């Protein structure tokens, strides 16, 4: 039995399905931990497969590849170096588990399986995994260590079982996706488990982007006295060395270590957008991105995020003016591109508009212009961007925000045309806040330029799609502060129209917004993926039927 332990916390960015690459990441973390004298390394949830693996994990060939990687690591621990609390899908008989394996001295010294499989929001684990039995602690160097996995600490039962069966330290591997204000909720839950059990707790969270999810890291250690001993940085890979000792009372404690900067709300949103876009582009091996730069606020902040994520040299922007595009928009778009140091081209869509007008004139004879002609413009721009993407390889990033996507203020196969959307879960009012914030801050790790990157006029002028003369968004939509307040009630809080009216909102506007939200479901099903920011996205978190006769 030992009275001291050195545990390395490995906050890594795995890639789903890249078993060889993830194996290399685990090996590199182990080598660094060995260099710093660690006894063991603790990883985030399913580090070997990447998280979440979804239905990929059901594929027998994938399971065999994972098993081979585990065997490789098991054999390597015979070298006397750090043990591994390795997280991986693991088949036991006819059941597939979300598992923690203790690899030590050339053996699989213990296994524990996730008990509470989440099946809500973005999670679908009951579809692919079997729940494990209530776990007692693993014994490592004579220390009884509990390893509840992620959701297992969101309720008291699993930690209670560990404590009642002699647990001394709790290590929690996590794949906890980012959303606004979630770090505080994680901390509150962890503190609750510490209070109930009387045990110190280590929380190791994944970092990185995986499709629409972003994992924000921020791993931490809480002492049995509920004080923070270590906090790792958010939104980037890191390894922390934690030093533990057994006190005279027999209880374990972690020595105080580094406490990372706690970012504010806008900084975390911006960091999530940057990391989500960066990993989507890089993990899918795109050379860069293409963005339609309109001179409006949404495309400007999208271009800034892209430059910060990828570097200015990997961002190509295109202004696609029509006869309704103002000179201000032309000037603002160019100035924004210059401030960001990104490529800027102009391709007029007027010839395409004329071609479609001529083509359709016989069929449309006697009918007035309406949204049909507006949508032709948006689709001409979509075709143009996709042609540039096909020719040069960059992925098209769309620029619609959550407010617009929610109510269908967008055009299928037009401005919705692309591979990814950094603003998909960002309300318009937050877009304005983010523009001000980015002009005043240079995010840590950002590859774009310092200083102001968005012209002030882009932020202050009334938003407009510029698809007809003197058009403004508020010709069609309520003011964005009102719209976003109602949408937040309908989406994040799942309120009915009567409840929103009771909160003081105008009944006619509430009904109108609700109806637009419901009618746009078919568009959202065809939208590109985008970064999850809020507690409830309008894609994976909110799965409403397209054909839906419910009213109210």
Catalytic residue among 45, 125, 404, 466: 45
Measured CA angle at 478 (ends 536, 545), to 5 deg: 40
Q: Which residue matches tokens 């014994």? A: 139
Annotated active-site residue 111? The verdict is no
Annotated active-site residue 417? The verdict is no
Q: What is the dihedral of CA 64, 69, 70, 76, to 10 degrees?
A: 150
Q: 246 — phi, psi (to 5°)?
A: -90, 125
Q: Which residue matches tokens 């060995």? A: 34
Say how far apart CA 306 and CA 96 lie, in whole Å. Answer: 39
Contact, 174 vs 213, CB < 8 A? Answer: no
Say how far apart CA 409 and CA 520 lie, in whole Å. Answer: 9
- Whether a cis peptide bond, with omega within 30° of 0, leads into 52 is yes
Catalytic residue among 111, 125, 126, 150: 150
According to DSSP, the residues that pair with 99 across neighbouring strands are: 88, 113
Q: Which residue matches tokens 């090996």? A: 27
* CA contacts within 13 A on the Cβ side of 241: 13
Say how far apart CA 233 and CA 391 lie, in whole Å. Answer: 39
Of 296, 48, 71, the residue nearest 173 (C-alpha): 48
The three-class DSSP label of residue 349 is: coil
Catalytic residue among 32, 76, 107, 114: 114
User: What is the SS3 assignment for 501-550?
Assistant: HHCCCCHHHHHHHHHHHHHCHHHHCCCCCECCCCCCCCCCCCCCCCCCCC
Say how far apart CA 429 and CA 313 lie, in whole Å. Answer: 29
Annotated active-site residue 45? The verdict is yes
Helices and strands (DSSP H and E) totals, the chain = 17, 20
Contact, 30 vs 82, CB < 8 A? Answer: yes
Say how far apart CA 173 and CA 205 lie, in whole Å. Answer: 6
Say how far apart CA 367 and CA 163 lie, in whole Å. Answer: 75
Contact, 380 vs 352, CB < 8 A? Answer: yes
| Tokens of residue 84, six digits | 């591994």
Q: 240 — phi, psi (to 5°)?
A: -115, 135
Active-site positions?
45, 114, 150
């Amino acid at each position: 039995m030992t009275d001291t332990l050195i545990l390395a916390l490995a906050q890594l960015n795995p890639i789903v399905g890249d078993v060889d690459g993830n194996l290399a990441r685990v090996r590199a973390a182990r080598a660094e931990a060995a260099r710093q004298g660690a006894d063991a390394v603790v990883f985030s949830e399913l580090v070997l497969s990447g998280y979440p693996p979804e239905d990929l994990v059901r594929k027998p060939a994938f399971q065999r590849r994972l098993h081979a990687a585990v065997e490789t690591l098991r054999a390597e621990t015979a070298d006397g170096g750090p043990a591994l609390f390795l997280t991986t899908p693991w088949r036991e008989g006819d059941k597939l588990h979300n598992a923690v394996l203790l690899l030590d001295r050339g053996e699989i010294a213990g296994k524990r399986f996730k008990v509470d499989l989440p099946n809500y929001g973005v999670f679908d684990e009951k579809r692919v995994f079997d729940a494990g039995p209530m776990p007692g602690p693993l014994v490592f160097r004579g220390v009884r260590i509990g390893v509840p996995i992620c959701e297992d600490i969101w309720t008291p039962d699993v930690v209670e079982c560990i404590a009642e069966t002699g647990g001394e330290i709790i290590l929690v591997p996590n794949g906890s996706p980012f959303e606004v204000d979630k770090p505080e909720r994680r901390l509150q839950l962890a503190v609750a488990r510490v209070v109930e059990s009387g045990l110190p707790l280590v929380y190791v969270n994944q970092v990185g982007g995986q499709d629409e999810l972003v994992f924000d890291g921020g791993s931490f250690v809480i002492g049995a006295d509920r004080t923070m001993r270590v906090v790792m940085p958010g939104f980037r890979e890191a390894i922390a060395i934690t030093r533990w000792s057994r006190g005279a009372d027999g209880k374990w404690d972690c020595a105080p270590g580094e406490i990372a900067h706690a970012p504010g709300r806008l900084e975390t949103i911006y960091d999530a957008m940057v990391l989500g876009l960066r990993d989507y582009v890089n993990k899918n091996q795109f050379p860069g991105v293409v963005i339609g730069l309109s001179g409006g606020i949404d495309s400007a902040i999208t271009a800034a995020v892209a430059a910060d994520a990828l570097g200015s040299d990997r961002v190509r922007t295109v202004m696609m003016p029509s006869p309704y595009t103002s000179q201000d928009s032309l000037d603002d778009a160019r100035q924004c591109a210059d401030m960001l140091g990104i490529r800027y081209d102009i391709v007029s869509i007027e010839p395409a508009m004329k071609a479609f007008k001529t083509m359709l004139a016989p069929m449309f004879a006697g009918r007035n212009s309406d949204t049909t002609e507006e949508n032709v413009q948006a689709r001409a721009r979509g075709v143009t961007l996709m042609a540039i993407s096909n020719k040069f390889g960059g992925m098209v990033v769309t620029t619609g925000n959550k407010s617009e996507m929610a109510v269908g203020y967008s055009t299928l196969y037009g401005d919705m045309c692309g591979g990814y959307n950094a603003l998909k879960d960002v309300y318009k009012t937050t877009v304005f806040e983010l523009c001000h914030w980015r002009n005043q801050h240079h995010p840590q790790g950002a590859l774009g330029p310092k200083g102001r990157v968005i012209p002030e006029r882009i932020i202050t002028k009334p938003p407009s799609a510029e698809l007809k003369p003197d058009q403004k968004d508020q010709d069609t939509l309520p003011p964005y502060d009102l719209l976003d307040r109602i949408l937040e009630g309908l989406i994040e809080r799942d309120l009915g129209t009567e409840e929103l009216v009771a909160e003081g909102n105008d009944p006619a506007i509430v009904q109108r917004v609700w109806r637009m939200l419901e009618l746009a479901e078919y568009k959202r099903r065809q939208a590109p993926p985008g970064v999850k920011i809020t507690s409830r996205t309008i894609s994976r978190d909110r799965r409403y039927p397209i054909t839906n006769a419910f009213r109210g």
